[in-house]
Structure 1
Amino acid sequence: MTDVNVMLVDDHPLFRRGVAELLQDSGHFRVTAQFSHPDQVLEAVNDSVPDLVLLDLHMPGQSGLELLQAIKERHSGVKVVMLTASDDPTHLMDALRLGAEGYLLKDTEPGLILERLESILNGQLGLDDEMMLLLREGLRRQDSLQDTGRSLPTSASPADEHWYATLTERERETLVWISRGLSNKLIAREMGISDSTVKVYVKSLLRKLHLHSRLELAAWVHTNPLPDNILC
């Protein structure tokens, strides 16, 4: 099994050391760099292009969300997982909107952290049950603000109960496979099409459902059960 090159970014040295040891001892992850301050992170990502960046949300000088956005703008293929103490639904929603592949709390059991990271690397949803509840709260909060005429710079679930009528047959099929936790590569295999074609369908779904990332789409499906007749 090929080692996954990981970069750690966290301003707490003891926590960072513990995570590094956890990853190294797993036999699958290799920590190639550690940073306590965000200043040099983007340059390091440019130089080494790691497979995975574990990123704290609150750091001196620059927020983890700002750094997440900068990394994704330059290296969209680098997976970024927020590892944070914040259980604020707004932070979770913002991270998903900016392209994070996962959002984990620092008090998560070590074994569950490894399991979740493995799932993320396999293209599966990078949120555990607790994060799904937070996401549901975030979506509910956005809907409430929209009902009062206010707006948020983040996504919202479709208000029309017949939203699925706007989707093409292939988009509906793609959404069903996403609801079952399949990655783009596995969806392509099931549908007999290329990965790039699946990405086209996913991009169209994001536009029609007013979402911003594939992870946010997968999470939305989990919080909004698909109608029985979606493939009709």
Structure 2
Amino acid sequence: MVIFFEDSDYFFQLEAVFQEYKIIAKGWRNYDQLSEHIRIYQPKLALLDIEIGKNKEAGLEALQLIKDRFPRLRTIVLSGYPEYVLRAFRIGADGYLLKEDIAHSMEYIREVIGEVKEGKICMSNEVRRVIVEALAPYEKVDLNTRERQILCLAASDKSCPQIAQVLKLTPQTVETYFKNIKGKLNCHTIQGLVAKALRNNLILMEEFIS
């Protein structure tokens, strides 16, 4: 049995992958309702979307609930935000996949689901790259206000042109900021920058994002 925790039709595209499983519930936004269905039906696997409505951490909150109340239930997080991967695994996720992974290969998703059910920890190559960069050593540095602001906007899923528009800068200027920040934090990708900055408390989302 499989249970979904999400608020759109996105995961329903995956139903072909689960033909051999019984999908017991989908679309629950209420944590108590989710918990009750897990208790009654005792699924073997839970797939959790990170973002539910305007809450970009709803999936992490659901993951924490599951691990507290149902520690044996296997869990896979599917998200468009690789920067949350460290927090997800720290809570106890058994797998973390990006939504772009799903679009590229359903067969790969089948393999991941099978491995997670067998007790393995699974993640895509992009997620693995983010972890490596986030954990890579770097000299302690101070980010200036503009650099922190740009990273916070990147963490809120803003693209380089969108960040430039918000801050009234040119895209080239924003790219230059990213280049400088990458050098400071010893990272090569924006996702890695965001993950490392969050992990080391270099940025606070509430400082710039309302």
The letter for the 2-side match of 1:34 is K
Counterpart position of 2:88: 95
What TM-score, normalized by structure 1, do the two folds share?
Answer: 0.54
Q: How many residues align?
A: 136
Q: Is this contact kept in 1: 2:4–2:27, CA < 8 A? A: yes
| Aligned mate of 1:37, from 26, 29, 32 | 29
The letter for the 2-side match of 1:127 is M
Q: Find out whether 1:9 has 2:2 as its counterpart.
A: no
- How far off is 1:107 after superposition? 1.7
- How far off is 1:149 after superposition? 8.8
- How far off is 1:50 after superposition? 1.1
Q: Is this contact kept in 1: 2:5–2:46, CA < 8 A? A: yes
Write out aligned runs for 1:83-232 (5 A): 83-88=78-83, 91-108=84-101, 109-140=105-136, 143-144=137-138, 148=140
- The CA deviation string for residues 96-136 of structure 1, in whole angstroms up to 9 with x for no partner, is 00000000111212111111111111222311222211111
- The CA deviation string for residues 159-211 of structure 1, in whole angstroms up to 9 with x for no partner, is xxxxxxxxxxxxxxxxxxxxxxxxxxxxxxxxxxxxxxxxxxxxxxxxxxxxx
Counterpart position of 1:79: 74
What TM-score, normalized by structure 2, do the two folds share?
Answer: 0.59
The letter for the 2-side match of 1:9 is F
- Distance in 2 (CA, whole Å) between partners of 1:123 and 1:77 is 10
Provide the alpha-carbon RMSD of the alignment: 2.0
Q: Is this contact kept in 2: 1:7–1:50, CA < 8 A? A: yes
Q: Is this contact kept in 1: 2:47–2:76, CA < 8 A? A: yes
Change (3 A) 1:149 1:69: farther
Q: Is this contact kept in 1: 2:51–2:59, CA < 8 A? A: yes
Q: Find out whether 1:64 has 2:59 as its counterpart.
A: yes
Q: Is this contact kept in 2: 1:35–1:41, CA < 8 A? A: no
- Distance in 2 (CA, whole Å) between partners of 1:134 and 1:42 is 31
Gaps of 5+ in 1: 151-232
The letter for the 1-side match of 2:2 is V
- How far off is 1:43 after superposition? 2.0
The letter for the 1-side match of 2:59 is G
